[in-house]
Amino acid sequence: MPNTTPLSPDACSTMAEVRAGVDDLDARLVEMLATRFAYMRAAARIKPERGQVRDEPRKAEVIANARARAEGLGLPADAVAAIWEGLVEASIAYELDHWDERRG
């Protein structure tokens, strides 16, 4: 039985190995996003007012946290902040949909 655990980035010597690692990581990221969106469903259930779904101070805090973590890891902080901007906006839209479904 072949080993299906991807190599670490530093251990990769072929593009096939790099792609296998990226594909594995992408699958795990989507699974983590499923958990994040489950928290958005919980927030839609908990928040009594639709207007509470969009919380600009919290949005800014989440993006700033991602930016700081990226900077600490030597990643392109602007790119990570942009990704988080999209993620938070998608999360808000998802939460609004679930808020409306529960009460509509």
Residues annotated in the binding site for substrate, as ranges? 19, 36, 47, 95
Q: Which long-range contacts (CB under 8 A, 24 or more apart) does 43-47 make?
A: 43/95, 44/95, 44/96, 44/98, 44/99, 44/102, 45/98, 45/102, 47/99
Quickly count: other Cβ atoms within 10 Å of residue 25's Cβ. 12
Write out the binding residues: 19, 36, 47, 95
